[in-house]
Structure 1
């Protein structure tokens, strides 16, 4: 007698989210089965090891075919072979493009070349992330960078349109694209303590304030030849006028101290009074040199060496440092020389350039300072 068999036929592809997560992490079929066994999945379902292995291998075949569509997410919605419910489709895309900060930290300071990809086994060993996952993350960064590199407009918007990523993830990739596009130096030993998050926070702030698409940029018709990964070269040239502040250093110090007293401990006020020149010249000299491509690439190195390290030596608390930077910026804005018109910018004065610069520098210095 033929036993009864229940058969269900449906249109939607079933994704085991637990197995998919392990596939994303780079586990092979056998490794995934071992993890499931350790988690007690076999006992929970009353399944044999052979059955779970066969089922996992089947899932992996599905994921392998699905991956061909995940490199171009919009095609996933049009694909009839793999029909996924909208919520599941979003989950699959997001999981595939999520990354480990420690892996991306190793990637952003290098060229997105075949040689770098071959060396990912070193990254895997250093970070403890499986090689398959490192390769997926590298390929995703390279794919997104190549896709949006020649596009105009908002990088975040372009990434979302091309890869259907949620806003928070698209913003992270946009910051990574900005860092790679502008070739910032991130791999020097002095910067080893910094995290991917540190670089991304600074990059996002620069994109908001220092690019041609910045909301603080001069008014006028939008420049369709640039996007928010292109730094505003006119702005960078204007920064050279900060040398005028060096001639008014004593006045700048006195105004800063007069507004600082009572807001931070007296010990730190004395520190500012004694070493104002070190802090101020570090901040100003970085700005004055940013129009030079090499100095721009060394922004993070200079910020750490000229500002962050002196702050560390003085043992600033993060909250106190934030107060000092705000008061320092406001004191600079209050100087009468700030009414001077930057060369070639008759519709802007130096105060606007200073505030545009310091709004970002305050965020960057605070982020790079690990007390």
Structure 2
């Protein structure tokens, strides 16, 4: 019996070096020459003694900076980190071995002006070539571990993947809430020119978002966070950012109107987090869809609260009575304006913070007792402001109910943030309510809601409706407090 020989090739290599500055430059769409001549690269080669060449002239040691081509002083490549980054060991050895044993300083300068840049350019070209070959694997990060062409250590693998899926906030602002179509991709050159971002970088970020959205939107029953972390090997923080962005894209939230233009990417991510936390499906975290029961209950409650004219009046009387109780409380009345506590859910910098009171960390933790509300209130209203709020209460309540009913209509839900600004924030600002006072108003609006006190005795699933109404108000409250001074 004839024996069969199996022939195969084996090659052994060290893990490929990854220079963070060169990689960032490749991601940003710069060329090899632009990268090699940039200050960021030369300043990050720590083996060059802070970008200086040490040259032995025979009698003394002269330190000369690595030259840059004329006109390159304004060229900048955004670095991922502030610490110096090493390059290929062969590059370092070649530069360190550059010596001038004899000759004039002119000859020394000649070598300095040519050799280091030549080596930097060669190293940059090598790494650009590697990144280009790795691009297909980076688009499907799960295959990166099985890539037989390159050996990559764990640290560099994480750097490559997360760097590839990182995004520019100004560019992402252009995509949030929009449908990601091939036609939109063809128009990216206009966006790139407007934002002064290289077209290749825009295309990479667009393709990344579209690739992730295709997987997430095709399986709405599975946690979007799990899909992104498992399929794209991204860390939890970056994955959560993509989940929030995709939520706004899934519902096509309109962010093109002038009123919501001041909202930046980070702010929109936080607003998306608030909405998902309070209005999302409580049984499935990090999903794109809103809670069906909440949508139904808030829509039905609009009918109940507007069925009789005296119901909004009863609602206001309950709120007014609570204001009067708080005003007479020693804990509230003894406070001066300078001692007024920060609104719940905000830190001193105006940023949202997880709080059991607002439910940002736990959407089901809603405080119902008057005692807890008294402790949490930022300020109370008396005199003219209370009268002004009374005059605006009905239109504000009507606006809140209108927004609640829009949850069941995908077309109307697209205008969520604009509606909140026009129907809630604007009326409150017209009566000069401060952000603390606005926060107080929503706490009372939530806490005093008792169906029997409003004459609503025929509610089906009363407990569920009460819970969902308060969850809905917490979402409105979180959005209003966050953007109150932004738009």
What TM-score bracket applies, with the shorter chain setting the length?
0.7 to 0.9
Kindly indicate whether the alpha-carbon contact (under 8 Å) linking 1:208 and 1:228 is maintained by their aligned counterparts in 2. no
Kindly indicate whether the alpha-carbon contact (under 8 Å) linking 2:35 and 2:41 is maintained by their aligned counterparts in 1. no
Give, in whole Å, the separation in 2 of the partners of 1:68 and 1:170. 20
Query: Quick check: 1:256 aligned with 2:373?
Result: no
Give, in whole Å, the separation in 2 of the partners of 1:269 and 1:150. 50
Correspondent of 1:229 among 245, 263, 288: 288
Kindly indicate whether the alpha-carbon contact (under 8 Å) linking 1:308 and 1:369 is maintained by their aligned counterparts in 2. yes
Q: Which has the larger radius of gyration?
A: 2
Give, in whole Å, the separation in 2 of the partners of 1:235 and 1:38. 54
CA-CA distance at 1:328 after TM superposition: 1.8
Query: Quick check: 1:245 aligned with 2:245?
Result: no
Gaps of 5+ in 2: 1-11, 54-94, 96-115, 333-378
Q: Return the TM-score normalized by structure 1.
A: 0.85
Kindly indicate whether the alpha-carbon contact (under 8 Å) linking 1:26 and 1:133 is maintained by their aligned counterparts in 2. yes
CA-CA distance at 1:61 after TM superposition: 0.7
Query: Quick check: 1:170 aligned with 2:239?
Result: yes
Q: CA RMSD in A?
A: 2.7
Give, in whole Å, the separation in 1 of the partners of 2:272 and 2:40. 43
Q: Return the TM-score normalized by structure 2.
A: 0.66
Q: In the alignment, which residue of structure 2 is the partner of 1:4?
A: none
Kindly indicate whether the alpha-carbon contact (under 8 Å) linking 1:342 and 1:349 is maintained by their aligned counterparts in 2. no
List 4+ stretches of structure 1 deviating above 6 A. none
Map of 1:30-179 to 2, 5 A cutoff?
30-36=33-39, 40=43, 44=51, 46=53, 48-151=116-219, 152-179=221-248
Kindly indicate whether the alpha-carbon contact (under 8 Å) linking 2:141 and 2:161 is maintained by their aligned counterparts in 1. yes
Map of 1:336-347 to 2, 5 A cutoff?
336-337=453-454, 346=461
Kindly indicate whether the alpha-carbon contact (under 8 Å) linking 1:255 and 1:331 is maintained by their aligned counterparts in 2. yes
Kindly indicate whether the alpha-carbon contact (under 8 Å) linking 1:72 and 1:163 is maintained by their aligned counterparts in 2. yes
CA-CA distance at 1:170 after TM superposition: 0.8
Higher helix share: 1
CA-CA distance at 1:186 after TM superposition: 1.8
Q: In the alignment, which residue of structure 1 is the partner of 2:17?
A: 14
CA-CA distance at 1:132 after TM superposition: 2.1
Q: In the alignment, which residue of structure 2 is the partner of 1:23?
A: 26
CA-CA distance at 1:255 after TM superposition: 2.3
CA-CA distance at 1:89 after TM superposition: 1.4
CA-CA distance at 1:139 after TM superposition: 0.9
Query: Quick check: 1:329 aligned with 2:446?
Result: yes
Gaps of 5+ in 1: 1-8, 216-221
Count of residues in correspondence between the two structures: 351
